[in-house]
Structure 1
């Protein structure tokens, strides 16, 4: 049974799920419908927003040890092969996860203390887009072996004017792995600029 989390909540992943070593972190979002009043009434439209999910593999000091520890649309596999990105979804349309990140917890190098999950809006400055134009954003974790959803965190805050979301993290805790629902926002028009904050 899946557990629904609130912002700031931390929950055990592996302790209560013996044998869990491969997980899928799914991220999803939908563009919010906009209204434009015109001469012939109100016109509704949905903007084309390209969100990009990424994973940053951080050490105990909260820093990226290597450039290959950033897993995103332009670097789909970590240098050690323990974290793999599903690929870029350009629209966010349709049901289910828009992008997924596959993690083999047993293969994550010992110097990696946590894996941080973030979402950016591609080309947000030129397109004049921000997370106020996104609705129903979420992050969830699944057991890769059977597809069972373990937990879900729905982001419900107002992120208008923000161009980056720090959604959640998987982190080590006494030999086990836990999940933290973060839900913080900030400004970083590209994942590479966000990653610089962790170098």
Structure 2
């Protein structure tokens, strides 16, 4: 039975699930029907962060155009351009045992592609969630439903996997950014061109 989290809540992942090494992080969303006339394209992305909360290099930013980190322990499984249908819209596979030691935190984000050009924001997105699934058994372990707390934001950090005393934990973040992926990348130490 999955544990449902609230914003700000933290939970043990590996300590309460001994032997767990491979997880699938599923991200999902729906868009509200509105008369803007433009399609929504939401994207999941991942930042691998060191103990200062920064990426070490461009390969620590994982998304549809860079689907794996340097050693392949974190893999984005592909871009979903519509978000239609039930279940996960995009997934990221994480081999917790193989994540490089310098990576202390893995941040999972959802951004709206071309949000400014299309006049779109998370006020028009509903039912956004992140869930963690045991890759071997398929069992959902953790779920965080974001709720409808957003208006002008174009990017959201939904949650983080992080190391604590030799174990992996998950934190439900749910914090929005007004300046989209560029703002996230800057905050995480990537140069944005």
TM-score (norm 1): 0.91
Give the corresponding residue for 1:39.
Answer: none
Task: Say what the alpha-carbon RMSD is for the aligned residues.
Answer: 1.4
Q: Is structure 2 residue 65 aligned with structure 1 residue 74?
A: yes
Higher strand share: 1
Deviation >3 Å, runs of 4+: none
- Distance in 1, matches of 2:54 and 2:31, equals 32
Preserved CA contact (<8 Å) 1:58 1:69: yes
1:103 and 2:94 aligned: yes
Alpha-carbon distance in 2 for matches of 1:104, 1:46: 40
Q: Return the offset for 1:46.
A: 8.3
Stretches of structure 1 that go unaligned for 5 or more consecutive residues are: 37-44
Q: Which residues in structure 2 correspond to 1:34-73 (within 5 Å)? A: 34=34, 48-73=39-64
Q: Which moved more, 1:151-160 or 1:17-26?
A: 151-160
What corresponds to 1:116 in structure 2? 107
The alpha-carbon distance between structure 1 residues 7 and 46, as it changes in their structure 2 partners (threshold 3 A), is farther
| Counterpart Cα distance in 2 of 1:136 and 1:188 | 22
Offset of residue 47 of structure 1: 5.7
Distance 2:182 2:154 in 1: 13
Extract unaligned runs of 5+ from structure 2.
none
Q: Which residue of 2 aligns with 1:42?
A: none
- TM score, norm. by length of structure 2: 0.94
Whichever of the two has the greater Rg, that structure is 1
